[in-house]
């Protein structure tokens, strides 16, 4: 992508007009239009303000690292999955620390580093040379940095999950109010990509998405029933859940699932 294409993509993703971006940068909307239409490039003095506004590095803005980051991230995710499966939490933590040192401005890498740190803290396999409190505070700080600056919803969702759990039940960063604030920032479940893709896709792609959505819904439903304190539920709520549960079971039986 050219720098103009990158600016346009970031602007659209952020949901701002050329006029709004121009006001932030103290330039005319015509100047923004020229960048996006390949009629000119931003002056060197515009690079830092653009990077701050969009929460990216200069290399990302100029398209220098995009391909390298993507390939490195895919490779690291494959290795990380294998390490996690083997229970090598220390290896996974080392892997993502090295990736973060290489790509310190990439929020997907930082989110994986934070996840590895949370995993090390709660797996019972914390390396002996790690300070538990310092590692926890670092993981939380990474998560908060991502929430404050990242615009990628997939990365944000990945960062929110351990933060909510840690603020709610954590040993060193207990803050239930912040846990609720982060959870509510995620928006309604009906606005998730899997729900919306039911109407956007066709054919096999639609069916694959429906399967993914069904798995998410059923696993969430199962978790809720296992952990819920039913003593707080009204009789109407219990009846509604029983009806829903029976309906799900009936559909799965009829489909041979």
Domain termination residue (choose one: 38, 61, 84): 61
Integer CA distances (angstroms), 116 to 78, 113, 204, in order = 14, 5, 34
pLDDT attached to residue 4 = 87
Residue with tokens 């990509």: 193
217 shares its domain with 180: no
Q: What angle do CA 17, 20, 23 make, to 5 degrees?
A: 150
- Rounded-to-integer distance, Cα 208 and Cα 50, Å: 38
pLDDT attached to residue 142 = 93
pLDDT attached to residue 64 = 66
pLDDT attached to residue 151 = 77
pLDDT attached to residue 67 = 61
Give the pair of three-digit tokens for residue 176: 């239930």
163 shares its domain with 142: yes
Domain CATH for 163:
1.25.40
146 shares its domain with 197: no
* Nearest residue to 36 (alpha-carbon basis) of 54, 21, 14: 21
205 shares its domain with 238: yes
pLDDT attached to residue 68 = 67
pTM listed for this prediction: 0.62
How does pLDDT run along the chain (257 residues), one tens digit per residue? 678 888 987 888 788 899 999 999 999 999 999 998 888 889 889 999 999 998 888 877 887 666 667 788 889 999 999 998 898 988 999 999 998 888 777 888 999 999 999 988 888 878 788 888 999 999 999 999 999 888 788 889 899 999 999 999 888 889 999 999 999 988 787 777 888 888 888 888 888 888 888 888 887 877 777 777 777 788 888 888 888 878 777 777 776 66
pLDDT attached to residue 180 = 93
183 shares its domain with 74: yes
Domain termination residue (choose one: 43, 61, 79): 61
- Rounded-to-integer distance, Cα 23 and Cα 118, Å: 40
- Rounded-to-integer distance, Cα 148 and Cα 178, Å: 14
> In which domain, by residue range, is 137 found?
66-187
79 shares its domain with 106: yes
Domain CATH for 57:
1.10.260.40
76 shares its domain with 144: yes
- Rounded-to-integer distance, Cα 80 and Cα 92, Å: 5
pLDDT attached to residue 32 = 93
**Dihedral sign for Cα atoms in the order 116, 118, 123, 127:** positive
* Nearest residue to 32 (alpha-carbon basis) of 52, 12, 58, 8: 8
Domain termination residue (choose one: 61, 81, 110): 61
3-state DSSP assignment of residue 122: helix
The number of domains in the chain is 3
56 shares its domain with 92: no
pLDDT attached to residue 134 = 92
Cβ(150)–Cβ(107) under 8 Å?
Answer: yes
40 shares its domain with 121: no
124 shares its domain with 202: no
176 shares its domain with 196: no
130 shares its domain with 215: no
pLDDT attached to residue 148 = 86
């Amino acid at each position: 992508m050219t720098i103009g294409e990158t600016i346009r993509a970031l602007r659209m993703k952020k949901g701002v007009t050329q006029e709004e971006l121009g006001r932030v940068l103290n330039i005319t909307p015509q100047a923004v239009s020229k960048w996006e239409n390949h009629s000119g490039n931003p002056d060197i003095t515009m690079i830092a303000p653009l990077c701050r506004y969009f929460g990216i590095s200069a290399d990302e803005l100029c398209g220098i690292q995009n391909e390298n980051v993507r390939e490195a991230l895919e490779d690291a995710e494959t290795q990380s999955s294998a390490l996690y499966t083997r229970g090598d939490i220390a290896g996974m933590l080392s892997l993502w620390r090295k990736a973060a040192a290489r790509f310190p401005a990439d929020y997907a890498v930082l989110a994986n580093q934070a996840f590895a740190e949370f995993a090390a803290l709660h797996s019972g396999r914390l390396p002996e040379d790690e300070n538990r409190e310092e590692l926890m505070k670092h993981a939380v700080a990474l998560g908060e940095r991502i929430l404050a600056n990242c615009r990628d919803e997939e990365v944000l969702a990945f960062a929110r999950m351990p933060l909510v759990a840690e603020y709610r039940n954590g040993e060193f960063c207990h803050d239930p109010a912040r846990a609720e604030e982060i959870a509510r920032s995620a928006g309604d479940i009906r606005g998730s990509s899997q729900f919306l893709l039911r109407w956007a896709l066709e054919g096999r792609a639609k069916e694959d998405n429906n399967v993914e959505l069904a798995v998410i819904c059923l696993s969430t439903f199962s978790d809720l029933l296992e952990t819920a304190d039913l003593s707080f539920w009204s009789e109407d709520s219990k009846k509604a859940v029983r009806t829903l549960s029976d309906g799900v079971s009936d559909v799965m039986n009829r489909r041979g699932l």
